[in-house]
Structure 1
Amino acid sequence: MSDATAAAGPETGGEKTVTVVDIYTDGACSGNPGPGGWGAILRYGTVEKELCGGEPGTTNNRMELMAAIQALEALKRPVKVRLHTDSQYVKDGITKWIHGWKARGWQTADKKPVKNAELWKRLEAAKKPHEIEFHWVRGHAGHPENERADELARKGLKEARQRG
């Protein structure tokens, strides 16, 4: 297969063959709220696919979530994923907080509606077929893939601003 979304070939892991896709995501916003963009890189071995998009009126947290959602939704079959994000909000939300939110009917501990609940539900559905490790990386610290994901997010922001 010819692109990363197809997760095209095996990576050897012990006795069995495991397909591993690395995903790097970022979100950007000009004003919060304001126009925003998201970017993602999907990498399988030497094959890469870049994705980006944006919205004219959004928040940075929504764009961080959309980057992860769009990347996972682009995968064509179940794979092992290492998702790298500079958003503690995304990492902690999907690995820790979501369990309590669901148990409380999508309310926070202080009984307020969870912000961006529809995106958290979409992210949870997008991750379901995959085995995912979430990794936090420091933003704007020279990590090449995070810097590229940031460039893609800013491209999505620019396009959203032009559509306005």
Structure 2
Amino acid sequence: MSNKPEVIVYTDGACSGNPGPGGWGAILKWNGKEKELSGGDSQTTNNRMEMQAVIEALKALKKPCVVKIHSDSALIINAFTKGWIDNWQKKGWRKSDKKPVENKELWQDMLEAMKPHEVVWVKVKGHSGIVLNERADQLAVAASQRIQN
């Protein structure tokens, strides 16, 4: 077992139109404390916002941690738990159909942000009453609405 602190993270992204104005939200839980983060972009996609939430949560950590990232993004979870990201890198950031991987720069940012940490990926079902996942969604939606207005 690692002697690093364990941080529980819930992330989500939202987009009004795809592409369109979007937002991301993240909640970090550690040692009985919670920190909420959010932001957005005026012209983005849902996948980009899902990824940005993970990146920003990891960047917010001030020292190496064991990070349990809870996400309802099948793309992100599968990329890491099914080895897709390793295959994309081996193939020069191309998917099995030989097409370029979308959002390569965000995947690279995520890999960089993960380096100091031990990351555990946890798939959650979206909009299923998981309190912190619902809150991450609310943060993402609110951020996307701030961008629109």
Shorter-chain-normalised TM-score: which range?
over 0.9
The 1-side partners of 2:145 and 2:80 are apart by 28
Question: Structure 2 counterpart of 1:20, which letter?
Answer: E
1:159 match: 146
Structure 1 residue runs of 4 or more that deviate by more than 2 Å after TM superposition: none
Q: Does 1:19 align with 2:27?
A: no
Question: Structure 1 counterpart of 2:124, which letter?
Answer: V
Q: Does 1:59 align with 2:45?
A: yes
Percent identity of equivalent pairs:
51
The 2-side partners of 1:34 and 1:159 are apart by 13
Higher relative contact order, chain-length normalized (CA < 8 Å, sep 6+): 2
Q: Does 1:134 align with 2:121?
A: yes
Gap runs ≥5 in structure 1: 1-12
Of the structure 1 ranges 49-58 and 88-97, higher mean CA displacement relative to structure 2 is found in: 88-97
Q: Provide the alpha-carbon RMSD of the alignment.
A: 1.1
User: Which among 73, 84, 98 is matched to residue 111 of structure 1?
Assistant: 98
Gap runs ≥5 in structure 2: none
Equivalent residues, number:
148
The 2-side partners of 1:51 and 1:161 are apart by 18
Query: What SS does the aligned partner of 1:139 have?
Result: coil
Q: Is the 8 A contact 1:94 1:120 kept in 2?
A: no
TM superposition shift of 1:22: 0.3
The 1-side partners of 2:98 and 2:134 are apart by 37
Q: Which has the larger radius of gyration?
A: 1
Query: What SS does the aligned partner of 1:24 have?
Result: strand
Of the structure 1 ranges 105-114 and 50-59, higher mean CA displacement relative to structure 2 is found in: 105-114
Counterparts of 1:50-129 in structure 2, within 5 Å, are 50-95=36-81, 96-129=83-116
Query: What SS does the aligned partner of 1:121 have?
Result: helix
